[in-house]
A and B are shown apart, each in its own frame.
Chain A
Amino acid sequence: MLKIRNVHKRYHENEILKGVDVTVDKGDVVTILGPSGSGKTTLLRCMNFLERADEGSMDFDEYHVKLHDASSHDVGKIRKKTAFVFQNYNLFQNKTALENVMVGLVIGRGMDKSKAQEIGMKALDKVGLADRYRYYPAQLSGGQQQRVGIARAIAVEPDVILFDEPTSALDPELVGEVLNVIKQLAKEGKTMVIVTHEMKFAADVATHVIFMADGKIVEEGDPKTIFLCPKEERTKTFLRRILPGVEYNI
């Protein structure tokens, strides 16, 4: 369904992505792991053109584009097939929870208001915010804000939802409520690409795990293989540091 090939991204002299390939099929939950600065966020942002890659191609259903020179028309169409959940939520501060969810439908897609409202309420109900429709972001906790962010993403029924560390800005006691929502989406068969530092969660939800370091994919495979018997030394070191006390078949 979604294939990106040979993604390169440079900032000034630094090459941040050095030829990355990712394939996402319908129903996949791809989790991307890796040390800080390895280029995970950059990769995700290149996938919906928030960042322009310097090289690479994308096949997304009927769209076949070069990442560096896709027309703004194609970019607009491709963005509407995706949704993005940000690390720091990025909710529209001047809109209520419900309006946040409706914006993409009403303004982005020209849906009529009452239909959008119905969909928006359903999306908020799903993330457990049935009693917070009329709250502004400033009146919500971090966990609630991120759940609005997720509701905003699912409401537009995208082909794939991209998550960039959805819980890393949250207080520890709020992480669970957000992860549970994402797990629920995984159960329903939603297609997702998730950058996360929550290893247990990654192992639970993933159908496919990618381990990145220094702008390259070091190792990828199903979660059992990556977490329990990784082949590459870099993966082992990373997992050992982040999951001390877990025994591997190494």
Chain B
Amino acid sequence: MGGSILGNRVVRKEDPKFLTTGGKYVDDLFDEPLLAGALHVTYVRSTVAHGQIISIDTSTAKDMDGVVAVFTAESLGLELMPAGLNKSAKRAFLARDKVRYVGEPLAAIVATSRTAGEDAAETVVVDYNVLPAVVDVREAAESTVHLFEEVGSNIVFDSMNLGAPDNSGPEFFDGCEVVVRETIVNQRVAPCPMEVRGSAVAWVDGRLHQWLSTQHAQGAHSSLCRTFGYEPANVRVIAPDVGGGFGAKIGLYGEELLLSVMSQQLGRPLIWRESRSESMVALGHGRAQVQEIAIGGSRDGRVHAYQLKVLQDCGGWVDSAAFLAPFMTRPMSQGVYDIDRIECRTLSIVTNTTPVVPYRGAGRPEATAAIERAMDLFAAEIGMDPVDVRSKNLIQPFNEPYQTKMGQTYDVGNYIESLNRVTVAAKYSELRAEQAKRRAAGDTVQLGIGVSVYVEITGGGGTGDTAKIEVLENGRAKVYTGTSPHGQGHDTAWSMLASDQTGIPMDRIEVIHGDTDLVPKGGGTFGSRSLQQGGAAVHVAAVELVDIARGLAATLLEANEDDIVLDKENGAFHVAGSPSVNKTWADLAVAKKSEGGLVHAIDFRVDGATFPFGAHVAVVEVDTETGKVRHIAHTTCDDAGTVLNPLLRDGQIHGGVAQGSAQALLEEVLYDPDGNPTTSNLADYAMISAAEVPSVTIVMMETPTFMNPLGAKGIGESGSIGATPAVQSAVCDALLHLGVRHVDMPATPERVWRAIHTAKSGVGQ
């Protein structure tokens, strides 16, 4: 008998398609029969960051060749709707009365071609009463210019409302020999999925079909029904292949929601796909926090108190960003450390910039960056190695739920082990020796070593997922899942899980997802939830299906159920010891034909989140004359519990490390003082490329969780959570001997050069 396929490096089934003929994305739907004759939608967007709308003149556009209709909030009768976390803040899907960021949609042009739409969009004249733009989050907190006048402040949510005390008095650090404070910036970044947003709609006999580049088809389905009162049975949402999302495609945007309304009015199918330049200002951004950290402890390396204040820049709307700091950053602010006194206060603040949404890690990388930076600053202050300081303060290994001071229940953890493994693999002491040599020689190119230890929360908020397995009469199987892969490799992973139990070969299993007619209930793919909830559902469904099939085989073979075994090699059931008389999966499916086929569906439930952890070591070289940083080596030890497919895990780590390195060194969305974006294309926005990413060494560690039968925790966001602070820390470490304490992200050459320059002149004075 062959062993289990699980845990093996199984090559991705979906790749031949993606790497050759290409997937089918929203923009490839031109041959979809329901979309025959579809018109193209182009949105007219605000060119000012903050202003009252005096008038929108669409008269020229309406008369242009190819233009079928032009809609505004007024012509569509769009109402202002309150935000979730602050009911006083209101807006409509197309700006009405006011615009609050460059790129906010103002009007929609429906035309026979995309080019005609764009030509017409250029002719729309908007008359604004331009207001002062509030761009910087710190200024926004104090400003008397308010984005939402009815709120009476730009602060739209304060975590004090949750009942947490704020002990910002000096007594918080009583008994600490050393207290270090710093204000650090976790800058705004753009998610940049390879496929920008797109959607197509068709109404057929009173039923809406909406194709959508989304991470959560079922979520989009409920949004549409909730927003417009559509009958759930009359809405079908389909996610075709989706070219990445990174969190920014979880929720529905106004541009997507409005399509069904316009299509209904016009009686024509519609298709919309934004351009890259639009995507850079209208797809949500990520991160965007300013953090005030204070850490206190004794000179022996013990940390006694840690305080974090977060200013979360929400951008021009109070959507999901307002949740990120209080409900994602704050709960994880303690990180992996056992600290006596800890507190975290968060303020969610609106500014005249693109709204912020979840982005790979969504609030947890920010929490990790803050405490890891604090640990480094503390270590530097007392002159202790950053690894030693961490070792002294880590929560001891635990195999039973651990209650944190921030109210979280960590499932399992062995932080010291991950730190030990990663420092050994990275040859930490040799790196330190090399660094000492270069420092002593005064080399132009210095070495920096950065360490991070993290714990994060995955599958948070989710309660489980659905799975259905159907065996066909030819012995093939279909697996229906509530997850919504957009690059992760679920076709491979879910086939492995189903094949492992049933013995049906992976290439005879088809995974179906992202179509609400086929999978009405599902949790989608985000928050590193898919394997531990959706994958576990497939596993449990397969286990139960085998039981059902065994009973059926017993009846057909006129044998006792307990005597029936499944020969996985041949995909057949037989009485133990007599394999020649058997019932294959195909036989069983045929036998069940009249009773609706051989199908098993489950709604699998979990009790809560899991808490993957790990440690990273980043190595950088810094040219001290020019300030240029090269990320030259990266080692990780990420514990995601039991690993289903190391190849898929590695892919997630590689991508996460790349995005972490990108945030630490390269990427930042910038605005001028008037709120005009200055990084709205991929020449100006320094998105990382393969040439800048070092080869990543991955060290194994698997501490299974008891939260699901697979023992799996999430891996999708670990890379970005662990890598970002490790790389930033490496840059600071390279410059420590020159008197530099801290360099904000991204560590651009000029920023690094200035830090060196400032430290030098400080010493000279």
Asked whether A and B interact, the reply is: no
| A residues in contact (CB < 8 Å) with B | none
| B residues in contact (CB < 8 Å) with A | none
